[in-house]
Amino acid sequence: MVRAARVDENGMKKGAWTPEEDEKLRAYIQRYGHWNWRQLPKFAGLSRCGKSCRLRWMNYLRPNVKRGAYTKEEEEIIIELHQQLGNKWSIMAGKLPGRTDNDIKDHWHTNLKKRARRNQSAKTKEETINAAGQAQPARKREQEAEEGAADRLPEPNSEGFFALSPPEASSSEITSPSSDYPPLSELNWALDLEDGISSFGISAQDNDSFWTQPFLPDTSYNVNSVFSPPFFAGEGIYDYGMDFFPQLAEEIPQQ
């Protein structure tokens, strides 16, 4: 499932991550944050490039990363967004809390692309029939039954946006309390691509607060017990200074 581990010419390890590496990275970031991806592996005691650490954290170790099967709702959202945005996986990830851009991209290529294509060809076929004045309602119902409700896509409006209405079928499913997402009908899809503001119920801002918070020490961790306290630079913000990080490296247990 994963690439074989190897070491590149710079002595950087590549390939599959071991549980030990995961634990080092997780422990380090949870405690100190990711102040600089390039420097981070050095202080975390990892023989990985910063990029690799970032990817591993973002796609796998980050808290709230949702794994496992996609729900019907999630798939519908992805298909809709792909129609609107194209391959803007990171924006899509912002609309699907817990899903990563990599994950969404993979799911699109392995599952949804085919379905979207099928829908498109069915739509084209239907349009051809209608244009010829030979619409066949009975056949259309038959076709819809074949494709399934989840496969149907709404028509874009004149501006090319989708005015979403609640799915015709399985409304109970869509509005199920156990659902992680609001029903499509309640979503404001006016994507503001200028500033990337999310209008989703669970806003990107909420979701990203973890990433935008100032560099804060874990309160459960007694900084003073290991080294002198960082300079308090303002409300909730600590200025550790450049000399701070090498001390952290020594403090992280090396395995």
Residue 98 in contact with DNA, rule: CB under 7 A: no
Residue 222 in contact with DNA, rule: CB under 7 A: no
Residue 15 in contact with DNA, rule: CB under 7 A: yes
Nearer to DNA, 196 or 229 (CB): 196
User: Minimum Å distance from CB 53 to DNA?
Assistant: 9
Q: Are 44 and 24 in contact (CB under 8 A)?
A: yes
- The DSSP call for residue 236 is T
Residue 89 in contact with DNA, rule: CB under 7 A: yes
Residue 107 in contact with DNA, rule: CB under 7 A: yes
**How many residues of this chain interact with DNA, rule: CB under 7 A?**
39
The burial of 175, by beta-carbon neighbours within 10 Å (0-12 exposed, 13-18 middle, 19 or more buried), is given as middle
Stretch that binds DNA, among 81-89, 186-194, 219-227, 231-239 (CB under 7 A): 81-89
User: Minimum Å distance from CB 44 to DNA?
Assistant: 13
Residue 74 in contact with DNA, rule: CB under 7 A: no
Q: Are 199 and 192 in contact (CB under 8 A)?
A: yes
Residue 36 in contact with DNA, rule: CB under 7 A: yes
Dihedral sign from CA coordinates of 55, 60, 63, 67: positive
Instruction: Mention every residue, 6+ apart, whose C-beta is less than 8 A from residue 251.
Output: 226, 227
Nearer to DNA, 163 or 193 (CB): 193
Q: Are 250 and 225 in contact (CB under 8 A)?
A: no
Nearer to DNA, 38 or 139 (CB): 38
Q: Are 78 and 107 in contact (CB under 8 A)?
A: yes
What are the helix (H) ranges across the chain? 19-32, 40-44, 50-56, 72-85, 89-95, 101-107, 113-131, 137-147, 171-174, 204-212, 244-251
User: Minimum Å distance from CB 88 to DNA?
Assistant: 4
Residue 207 in contact with DNA, rule: CB under 7 A: no
Residue 87 in contact with DNA, rule: CB under 7 A: yes
Binding stretches for DNA (CB under 7 A): 1-4, 8, 14-17, 34-39, 50-52, 54-56, 59-60, 67, 87-91, 101-103, 105-107, 109-111, 211
